[in-house]
Amino acid sequence: MRDRGKLSAFGPQGVVETAAREIGKACAVFSVLAVAAIALYLLSYGAPAAFRVGWKEILFTSVWTPTAPTPRYGILYIMLTSIAGTGMAVLIGAPVGILTSVFLAELAERKTAAAVRQAVELLAGIPSVIYGLLGIFLLNPLMYKLELTLFAGSKTHQFTGGSNLLSAVLVLAVMILPTVIGISETAIRAVSPDIRAASLALGASKLQTVFGAVLPAAGSGIITAVVLGVGRAVGEAMAITLVSGGSVNLPLPFSSVRFLTTAVVSEMGYAHGTHRQVLFTVGLVLFAFIMVIHFVLYNLMEKEAVSRGR
């Protein structure tokens, strides 16, 4: 028996398992090296400019005039725009996505759920530039009409033609729907049938069971979906470049604004010298935001694993 065990490790099956293990290990190492390379690249190009200009100047001032005779590199309004825009998009998109996932997993008939699910998958496959084009030709005119109505006669409001923060928020809210819906539906379907049966046995209705028992049980998965939706919104560039206006302003709903991603996309083509290096600093700040989001997600997953272990 011992000889057979030793021979099996060197036989065809053992060779295949060893090769698969080594290939998996190589892929894992490559993934870690890719993340490390990106981080080192951003640090090597972004940190020197930050120390030259000053972190206080970059992070805590709001004047962004990199091509002026006396350049200023304050990204405070740009950071606030990314935070406010992402937060507003999640506040709109997350409830819609979660309720849609509840409908698909618990309430819809099979044919209806299949049709809605295909539409959601199609949303996930649409390129972001298409969202931007639809925003320009469909959403921005509507926002401009609303802007004209709300600020009629105003002598201080700067009209944006509909390219403003609210337009960007609505586009982002639609773009995060596939992520929120897909992961939330999976989490809801993973809830044990015993929980549903116990709730119904206690006299709860179908809706009471869904919202009082199933959703709390799937809470960690739904939170994961929302956090990943935040990451999707923070990293979006092309669509919001087309619909947000591109000006550096305080992030008010009807103001033309610029996100961290759009600052890099719109200026990297002609930037040079310190201006170009500061754009790498902006990318470094954006990378830090993404790292914080994934750190939160990791902690949530760890807490869920601990709670299940108990």
Per-residue pLDDT of the chain (310 residues; tens, 9 = 90+): 445 544 455 556 777 788 888 899 999 999 999 989 998 998 898 888 888 899 999 999 999 999 889 999 999 999 999 999 999 999 999 999 999 999 999 999 999 999 999 999 998 889 999 999 999 999 999 999 999 999 998 888 889 999 999 999 999 999 999 999 999 999 999 999 999 999 999 888 989 999 999 999 898 889 889 988 888 888 888 899 999 998 999 999 999 999 999 999 888 888 888 999 999 999 999 998 888 888 877 777 777 666 655 5
Domain count, the chain: 2
288 shares a domain with 228 = yes
CA distances 8 to 13, 23, 24, 207, Å, are 7, 20, 21, 55
136 shares a domain with 227 = yes
**Distance of alpha carbon 69 from its chain centroid, rounded?**
37
Q: Is the dihedral of CA 154, 160, 163, 164 positive or negative?
A: negative
pLDDT for 65 equals: 92
77 shares a domain with 42 = no
256 shares a domain with 145 = yes
Closest to 281 measured CA to CA, from 44, 94, 98, 64: 44
pLDDT for 78 equals: 94
**85 touches 250 (CB < 8 A):** no
Closest to 257 measured CA to CA, from 153, 121, 160: 160
> What is the C-alpha to C-alpha distance for residues 101 and 180, in angstroms, rounded to an integer?
8
271 shares a domain with 141 = yes
111 shares a domain with 25 = no
119 shares a domain with 268 = yes
**93 touches 183 (CB < 8 A):** no
Two tokens, residue 296: 């939160």
Q: Which CATH number do you get for residue 72?
A: 1.10.3720.10
> What is the C-alpha to C-alpha distance for residues 230 and 219, in angstroms, rounded to an integer?
17
182 shares a domain with 37 = no
13 shares a domain with 99 = no
120 shares a domain with 199 = yes
The whole-model pTM stands at 0.86
pLDDT for 5 equals: 47
> What is the C-alpha to C-alpha distance for residues 164 and 144, in angstroms, rounded to an integer?
9
pLDDT for 295 equals: 83
157 shares a domain with 43 = no
Expressed as residue numbers, the domain containing 79 is 62-309
- 218 contact partners, CB below 8 Å, separation of at least 6: 184, 187, 188, 190, 191
74 shares a domain with 27 = no
